[in-house]
């Protein structure tokens, strides 16, 4: 995905706020760094890949994940917690007829707790504005074509709600166990800009 996103003004504001909180003794910089490192260490697409693999092999879990992802996530040792408040995660399932893509058009809301840090392109203005208007064109830039007969649905995240795509299980993977299936799942597949 081409395009440039300049985070410098926001990063400067965050650093200024951190400095102010440190100066007033409200935040210890080392403790803040430790908390951030612990959060990022525990958040990666690997957890979401485990959830996808379980959904591919266990129809009951798949239904629970699609009905109430927040309630189902602890079954695979995941949670949408970690911030000031737990965010709602909605899992949307790709089918032969529908392909899902996630975006946050206002900023870059993203399910970090289950997918890990977001890719740079996800935050870019180019992706955020174009994927809604021209999802097929954006997917083509990722060298992915779901097919002309497949409906593309774009899901717009918000501060309260995040989305994750449940990709279609690749054909010929029936002999694979959950760990082998999880290894096939990519972050781009969980966002919807690639197949698995």
118 part of the active site? no
Q: Name the active-site residue from 2, 109, 118, 161.
A: 109
Residue 158 appears among annotated catalytic residues:
no
Which of 43, 79, 108, 124 is flagged as catalytic?
Answer: 108
For residue 109, indicate whether it is catalytic.
Answer: yes
Q: Look at residues 132, 140, 61, 71 and name the one whose alpha carbon lies nearest to residue 93.
A: 61
> Which is the catalytic residue, given 107, 124, 158, 161?
107
* Residue 129 bears catalytic tag: no
Q: 43, 79, 104, 158: which one is catalytic?
A: 104
Active site residues: 104, 107-109
């Amino acid at each position: 995905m081409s395009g440039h996103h300049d985070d410098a003004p926001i990063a400067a504001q965050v650093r200024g706020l951190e400095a102010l909180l440190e100066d007033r003794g409200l935040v210890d910089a080392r403790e803040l760094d430790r908390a951030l490192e612990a959060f990022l260490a525990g958040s990666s697409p690997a957890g979401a890949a485990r959830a996808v693999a379980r959904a591919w092999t266990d129809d009951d879990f798949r239904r629970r994940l699609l009905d109430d992802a927040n309630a189902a996530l602890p079954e695979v040792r995941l949670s949408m917690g970690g911030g000031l408040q737990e965010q709602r995660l909605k899992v949307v399932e790709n089918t032969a007829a529908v392909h899902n893509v996630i975006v946050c058009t206002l900023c870059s809301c993203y399910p970090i707790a289950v997918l890990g840090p977001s890719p740079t392109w996800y935050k870019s203005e180019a992706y955020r504005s174009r994927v809604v208007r021209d999802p097929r064109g954006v997917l083509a830039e990722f060298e992915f074509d779901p097919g002309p007969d497949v409906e593309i649905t774009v899901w717009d995240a918000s501060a309260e709600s995040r989305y994750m795509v449940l990709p279609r299980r690749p054909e010929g993977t029936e002999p694979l166990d959950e760990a082998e299936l999880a290894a096939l799942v990519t972050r781009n597949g969980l966002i919807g800009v690639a197949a698995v």
